[in-house]
Copies of this chain bind each other. A is one copy, B any other.
Amino acid sequence: MAGGARDRGRSVTSRVLAILDAFDAGRPRLTLSEIAARSGLALSTVHRLVGELEEWQALRRTADGSYHIGIRLWELGQLAPDSLQAVAHPWLQELLASTGENVHLAIREGVEVLYVDRVFGRRAVPIVSRTGGRLPMHCTGVGKALLAFEPGWFVTSFLSRPLERFTPHTVTEPGRLSRELAQIRARGYALTHEEMTLGSCSAAAPIISDGVPVAAVGIVVSSRRVRELPRLVDPLLAATDGIARAYQATMVPATRPRQERRD
């Protein structure tokens, strides 16, 4: 079998996955040597496997000889179940219509938030989150909205890790964040002000299904419009409630409580 001695002991599948893992939002384009460096594989192995991946359109070579993720992987990724996203999308649209700013849907993946949908108009403030992107939980509206509704053991463990500072407004002191989470839990939504990026602030609320925070909806507006944020809370909570109810309705009856409340 070809490939450098250092690749021994790794299955071919794990080598293919290591090549794909080399790509991320910060490095969406890589040369063969960069892929080798980031995957820890021998250049000869990378050369051979990238060729096969390119043929299948998992990777695509650009004019300058570097590679990026190909359309075939995007297409395949769209097959991941997205019942929540499908339910939520029209509600995101309605929030966009009332704000003209960025509205997004995020889920928790490990200790980060993963943005699974985003709608925005032409006048929206530029933001760092992108669909498919990840951001930390302690400094984003959706992250705080989700964190506040996680079980106590999760929050304790989360707060025991260092909290990175992104702007002078990022809350990095665990005690202060903990008090803020209690407040978010009590009122049902989170507000942030330039904690991730200078120039933007946000309102976010969780979508609670069967007591579990399955996702969060956030609205990001320019800091110049910070005074309008409180006004966006009611439409936001109406949307997350609506999504939660619509999502619950997509569940098979067996998972719903036997005695449904009538009101």
Specify which of B11, B14, B77, B120 is in contact with A90 (CB 8 Å cutoff). B120
Is A168 located at the chain interface by the 8 A CB criterion? no
- Cross-chain contact A74 with B78 (CB below 8 angstroms): yes
Is A151 located at the chain interface by the 8 A CB criterion? no
Q: Map CB proximity to B onto A217-254 as digits: 1 under 8 Å, 0 otherwise.
A: 00000000000000000000000000000000000000
- Cross-chain contact B78 with A76 (CB below 8 angstroms): no
Which residue of chain B lies nearest to A53 when distances are taken between CB atoms in the complex?
A: B13
Distance in angstroms between the alpha carbons of A24 and B78 in the assembled complex:
10
Q: List 7 A-B contacts (CB under 8 A).
A: A17-B58, A23-B79, A73-B73, A78-B131, A91-B122, A93-B121, A94-B121
- Cross-chain contact B77 with A68 (CB below 8 angstroms): no
Q: A74 with B132: in contact, given A68-B80, A79-B69, A122-B94 (CB under 8 Å)? A: yes
- Cross-chain contact B75 with A132 (CB below 8 angstroms): yes
The count of residues in chain A whose C-beta lies closer than 8 Å to any C-beta of chain B is: 49
Q: A17 with B52: in contact, given A90-B120, A119-B119 (CB under 8 Å)? A: yes
Is A25 located at the chain interface by the 8 A CB criterion? yes
Is A159 located at the chain interface by the 8 A CB criterion? no
Distance in angstroms between the alpha carbons of A96 and B122 in the assembled complex:
13
Which residue of chain B lies nearest to A77 when distances are taken between CB atoms in the complex?
A: B77
A24: B residues at CB distance < 8 A: 79
Distance in angstroms between the alpha carbons of A81 and B68 in the assembled complex:
8
Q: In the complex, what's the smallest C-beta–C-beta distance from A116 to chain B, in angstroms?
A: 8
Q: In the complex, what's the smallest C-beta–C-beta distance from A127 to chain B, in angstroms?
A: 12
Is A198 located at the chain interface by the 8 A CB criterion? no
- Cross-chain contact A80 with B76 (CB below 8 angstroms): no
Q: A75 with B28: in contact, given A14-B52, A90-B120 (CB under 8 Å)? A: no
A89: B residues at CB distance < 8 A: 119-120
